[in-house]
């Protein structure tokens, strides 16, 4: 998950995925900026979707393996494919791309010139970047 206002879209997406696969959702452990936390996940009801398990990742933007919960790291490492949302995930995972043992798809909106240049996409574009 990424921003709290996007949880309505996230829920529909997760419901569809969970019809075919086991889905792990990794919100923030507690609120940080406007990103979805475990509290908002429960309010929206994502935790009630069959075939979905909630594994909070920690209290930081993006994915930081040095600070993530052991449960998150275990699920991340054992997953066949990871879908991450948000430019913060791109900014934190790009440094690990040579160490990842799987494909990671990042759904994000390009919000700054540095990332736009790095991925050759215009600011404002909504993209899927695979690492």
Per-residue pLDDT of 21-40, as tens digits, reads: 999 999 999 888 989 999 99
Which residues contact residue 128 at a Cβ distance below 8 angstroms, ignoring those fewer than 6 apart? 105, 106, 107
Q: Return the structure tokens found at 43.
A: 């309010």
Query: What is the domain-level CATH number for residue 42?
Result: 3.40.50.10880
Q: What's the structural domain count of the chain? A: 1
Q: Beta strands of the chain (E only): which ranges?
A: 23-25, 52-54, 81-85, 103-109, 126-130
**Domain assignment of residue 19, yes or no:** yes
Confirm whether 130 is domain-assigned. Answer: no
The pLDDT tens digits for 3-24 are 888 999 999 999 999 999 999 9
Provide the domain limits for residue 61.
4-79
pLDDT of residue 2: 85
Assigned domain for 97 exists: no
40-85 pLDDT, tens per residue?
999 999 999 999 999 999 999 999 999 999 999 999 999 999 999 9
Domain assignment present for residue 28? The answer is: yes
**Residue 34: is it exposed, middle or buried by C-beta count within 10 angstroms (0-12/13-18/19+)?**
exposed
């Amino acid at each position: 998950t990424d921003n709290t206002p996007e949880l309505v879209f996230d829920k529909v997406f997760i419901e569809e995925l969970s019809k075919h696969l086991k889905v792990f959702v990794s919100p923030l452990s507690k609120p940080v900026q406007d990103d979805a936390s475990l509290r908002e996940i429960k309010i929206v009801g994502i935790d009630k979707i069959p075939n979905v398990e909630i594994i909070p990742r920690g209290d930081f933007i993006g994915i930081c393996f040095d600070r993530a919960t052991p449960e998150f790291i275990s699920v991340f490492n054992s997953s066949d494919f990871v879908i991450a949302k948000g430019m913060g995930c791109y900014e934190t995972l790009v440094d690990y791309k040579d160490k990842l043992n799987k494909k990671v798809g990042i759904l994000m909106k390009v919000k700054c010139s540095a990332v736009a240049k790095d991925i050759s996409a215009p600011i404002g574009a909504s993209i899927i970047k695979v690492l």
